[in-house]
Structure 1
Amino acid sequence: MIKIFGRVRYHWQPELSWSIIYWSLTITPAFIALSLVLERARISNTIIQLFLLVIIMFGIGWHRYFVIDDEYLKIASANPITSKKIQIATISKIEVTYLFIKIFSDDMPSGQVYYIRKWPKKYFINALALNTHFQGEIVLTDHLVTQDYFEEYYAEHTRKSV
């Protein structure tokens, strides 16, 4: 969760196997460049180009996020051309698990899975539930299997206010 230009972004990642493959491919040119630096005593254009490739791939990899506008939920993916806008009123259900959230809407009737870390997920669900246009339901599907961080957050929050 990062606030940029007054808008809060909730970052997500694709499925774990795709994330491992992508981030491994992202840092591979850095290791190649470092080995070239050890082989040669000077920094060549190839080494600079490999480090620029790593920086560009890191930027693309971090370009996956949600933004909650007044009426729309913007879902940005690694491909800047394919970012989606979903009307919040069309979201029928959100399943929340320990690892991911699954969003069901009129555009995605079978649901779309987004892997998101624990605290950004909590703040994202809270912000979406408090939106006036949201009429769907939020279902905690595996909250009995592992520690329920929503209950922990609210218990901690009520202790601070007392």
Structure 2
Amino acid sequence: MIKIFGRIRYHWQPELSWSIIYWSLAITPAFLALSLILEKLRISDTIIQLFVLVIIMFGIGWHRYFVIDEEYLRIASANPFASKKVRIDTISKIEVTYLFVKIFSTDMPEGKVYYIRKWPKKYFVNALALNTHFQGEIVLTDHLVTQDYFEEYYANKD
């Protein structure tokens, strides 16, 4: 959760297997560059290009977030040209589990899963539930299996 230009971004990641594959591929050029530095003992253009590639891939990897506008939920993915806007009043249900948030709307009737860390997830669900256009329901699906951090947070809020 980061506040940029007065807007709060709630960062998410894709499924765990895809995240591991992506981030492994993102840091591989750094290891290649470090091994080239060890072999040549000087910094060449190839090494600089590999480090630039790592920086670009990290930027693309962190470009997955939600922004809650007045009437829309903007979902940005790793592809900067595939940003999606979902009207908040079309969201019918949000399933919250320990690892992810699943959003159901008229655009996504089968639901879409977004993996979010613990605290950004709590603030995201709170902000969405308090939005005046939100008419859906929020369901905590596995709160009896693991520790329910929503109840834990509100119990210690005094």
Tell me the TM-score normalized by structure 1.
0.97
Instruction: Name the structure 2 match of 1:27.
Output: 27
Distance, in Å, in 2 between the alignment partners of 1:147 and 1:41 is 51
Instruction: Name the structure 2 match of 1:59.
Output: 59
Instruction: Name the structure 2 match of 1:50.
Output: 50
TM superposition shift of 1:41: 1.6
Unaligned runs of 5+ in 2: none
Residue type of the partner of 1:110? E
After superposition, the C-alpha distances for 1:28-61 in whole angstroms (9 at most, x for unaligned) are 0000000000111210000000000000000000
Residue type of the partner of 2:112? Q
Instruction: Name the structure 1 match of 2:114.
Output: 114
Distance, in Å, in 2 between the alignment partners of 1:36 and 1:15 is 33
After superposition, the C-alpha distances for 1:95-133 in whole angstroms (9 at most, x for unaligned) are 000000000000000000000000000000000000000
Distance, in Å, in 2 between the alignment partners of 1:6 and 1:50 is 34
Instruction: Name the structure 2 match of 1:69.
Output: 69
Instruction: Name the structure 2 match of 1:147.
Output: 147
Distance, in Å, in 1 between the alignment partners of 2:75 and 2:84 is 5
Return structure 1 stretches of 4+ with deviation > 3 angstroms.
Answer: none
Query: What RMSD over aligned residues (CA atoms) do the two structures have, in Å?
Result: 0.4
Residue type of the partner of 2:52? L
Residue type of the partner of 2:108? M
Distance, in Å, in 2 between the alignment partners of 1:41 and 1:67 is 45
Distance, in Å, in 2 between the alignment partners of 1:118 and 1:65 is 15
Residue type of the partner of 2:9? R
Distance, in Å, in 2 between the alignment partners of 1:119 and 1:37 is 40
Tell me the TM-score normalized by structure 2.
0.99
Distance, in Å, in 1 between the alignment partners of 2:97 and 2:54 is 32
Query: Where in structure 2 are the equivalents of 1:122-141 lying within 5 Å?
Result: 122-141=122-141
* Aligned sequence identity (%): 85
SS in 2 for 1:81: coil
Instruction: Name the structure 2 match of 1:86.
Output: 86
After superposition, the C-alpha distances for 1:77-108 in whole angstroms (9 at most, x for unaligned) are 00011110000000000000000000000000
TM superposition shift of 1:156: 1.1
